[in-house]
């Protein structure tokens, strides 16, 4: 489950609630494309902005509409207690795995983060992916801490925030981390602009924002890299350069939500306030680029 393309769909929403019909359409689109797993309630799925009941509902809908594709559910929250409740909800709804980021308000220590994963995996029945995303959690894992957490029961994968933009440096980064991990753990790359680089460097999975909206494109990149055609993977990724530039400027969530609105896959507004999608000339630029045949 924690290998290949894991596609992370948006959770389209507005101030009244979740747009369930739009979410179901996104999930069905991913299942139809044959992605390897569907990661709901990731950062792209706006898990941090939803209530417990809304999150349980999203996992239920995803499992109902994902066909045979396994569903991985984000269970991150500030309190250990809340994470445990969310894990229970996700399992009851049929999630095949869970994804846990050490979300913080108070800056966390290594021991506190280890304690979080220990307490949560202690009562967990499905495999867990460690979600390392310092840009949103403001916690930076050391490789040594990854190694300690990797020894806990149910821990099966690590979602890393990205790799250096150089083939050798990327490979060295993955090897350094892998040296700390039991052999059964997979490493998955995120940070879509450098995902091809990460896959080429030996990551088994791509935890992909882009795959949540453009599954065929992300599958083509993943398959090229995983079959050893590193050049082709980079070439395909390079076609998305205009999108990677917007990702850097606005964050991948705002850009992907804007694209979903422009493509008619979500109604505007699709993000929870105070978050806003792109406006003005950058929205126009994205619309023009989406009209080109680079994406499917």
Question: Stretches 131-139, 146-154, 178-186, 260-268: which one binds its own copies (CB under 8 A)?
Answer: 131-139
Q: Which is nearer to its own copies, 70 or 76 (CB)?
A: 76
Tell me if 252 sits within 8 A of 44, measured CB to CB.
Answer: yes
Tell me if 97 sits within 8 A of 39, measured CB to CB.
Answer: no
Question: Is residue 168 a contact point for its own copies (CB under 8 A)?
Answer: no
Query: What is the Cα–Cα distance from 22 to 47, expressed in whole angstroms?
Result: 16
Candidates 184, 231, 248, 276: give the one binding its own copies (CB under 8 A): 276
For this structure, is 49 an active site residue? Answer: no
Tell me if 158 sits within 8 A of 145, measured CB to CB.
Answer: no
For 17-154, where are the E strands, in sequence order? Answer: 17-18, 37-40, 71-74, 97-100, 128-131
- Is the backbone of residue 17 left (phi > 0), alpha (psi -120 to 50) or beta? left
Which residues, in sequence order, are bridge partners of residue 206?
5, 189
> Which residues have CB under 8 Å from 276's CB, separation 6+?
254, 269
Candidates 95, 218, 221, 253: give the one binding its own copies (CB under 8 A): 253
Candidates 111, 143, 166, 288: give the one binding its own copies (CB under 8 A): 111
Question: The tokens 């924690």 sit on which residue?
Answer: 2
CA 262 remoteness from chain centre? 22
For this structure, is 276 an active site residue? Answer: no
Question: Is residue 294 a contact point for its own copies (CB under 8 A)?
Answer: no
Binding residue count for its own copies, defined by CB under 8 A: 32
Tell me if 162 sits within 8 A of 194, measured CB to CB.
Answer: yes
Query: What is the Cα–Cα distance from 275 to 250, expressed in whole angstroms?
Result: 11
Question: Is residue 138 a contact point for its own copies (CB under 8 A)?
Answer: yes
Question: Stretches 91-99, 239-247, 248-256, 280-288: which one binds its own copies (CB under 8 A)?
Answer: 248-256
Catalytic residue among 159, 207, 250, 276: 159
| Closest separation in Å from C-beta 105 to its own copies | 4
Query: What is the Cα–Cα distance from 180 to 184, expressed in whole angstroms?
Result: 12
Q: Is 136 annotated to bind ligand?
A: no
Query: What is the Cα–Cα distance from 253 to 257, expressed in whole angstroms?
Result: 6
> Which residues have CB under 8 Å from 42's CB, separation 6+?
8, 74, 99, 131, 207, 209
The phi, psi pair for 8, rounded to 5°, reads: -105, 100
Catalytic residue among 131, 207, 250, 276: 131
Candidates 79, 176, 184, 231: give the one binding its own copies (CB under 8 A): 79
Question: Stretches 63-71, 183-191, 238-246, 268-276: which one binds its own copies (CB under 8 A)?
Answer: 268-276
Candidates 53, 105, 168, 179: give the one binding its own copies (CB under 8 A): 105
Q: Which of residues 35-64 bind its own copies (CB under 8 A)?
A: 43, 48-49
Question: Is residue 102 a contact point for its own copies (CB under 8 A)?
Answer: yes
Question: Stretches 61-69, 134-142, 167-175, 198-206: which one binds its own copies (CB under 8 A)?
Answer: 134-142
CB atoms within 10 A of CB 193: 18
The contact set with its own copies (CB under 8 A) reads 15, 43, 48-49, 78-81, 102-103, 105-109, 111-113, 115-116, 119, 135-136, 138, 251, 253-254, 272-276
What residues are labeled active site?
131, 159
Binding residues: 44
Binding residues for pyruvate: 44
């Amino acid at each position: 489950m924690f290998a290949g393309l894991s596609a992370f769909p948006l959770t389209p929403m507005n101030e009244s609630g979740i747009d369930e019909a739009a979410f179901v359409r996104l999930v069905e689109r991913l299942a139809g494309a044959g992605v390897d797993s569907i990661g709901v309630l990731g950062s792209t799925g706006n898990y941090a902005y939803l209530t417990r009941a809304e999150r349980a509902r999203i996992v239920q809908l995803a499992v109902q509409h994902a066909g045979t594709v396994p569903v991985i559910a984000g269970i991150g929250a500030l309190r250990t207690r809340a994470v445990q409740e969310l894990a229970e909800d996700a399992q009851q709804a049929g999630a095949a795995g869970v994804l846990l980021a050490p979300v913080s308000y108070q800056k966390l220590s290594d021991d506190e983060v280890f304690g979080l994963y220990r307490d949560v995996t202690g009562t967990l029945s499905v495999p867990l992916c460690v979600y390392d995303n310092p840009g949103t959690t403001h916690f930076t894992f050391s490789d040594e801490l990854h190694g300690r957490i990797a020894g806990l029961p149910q821990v099966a994968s690590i979602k890393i925030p990205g790799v250096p933009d150089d083939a050798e440096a990327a490979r060295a980064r993955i090897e350094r981390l892998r040296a700390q991990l039991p052999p059964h753990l997979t490493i998955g790359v995120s940070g879509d602009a450098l995902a091809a680089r990460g896959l080429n460097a030996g990551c088994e999975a791509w935890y992909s924002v882009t795959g949540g909206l453009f599954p065929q494109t992300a599958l083509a990149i993943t398959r090229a890299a995983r079959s050893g055609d590193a050049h082709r993977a980079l070439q395909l990724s390079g076609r998305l350069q205009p999108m990677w530039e917007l990702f850097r400027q606005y964050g991948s969530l705002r850009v992907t939500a804007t694209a979903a609105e422009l493509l008619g896959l979500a109604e505007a507004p699709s993000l929870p306030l105070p978050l806003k999608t792109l406006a003005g000339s950058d929205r126009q630029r994205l619309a023009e680029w989406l009209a080109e045949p680079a994406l499917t």
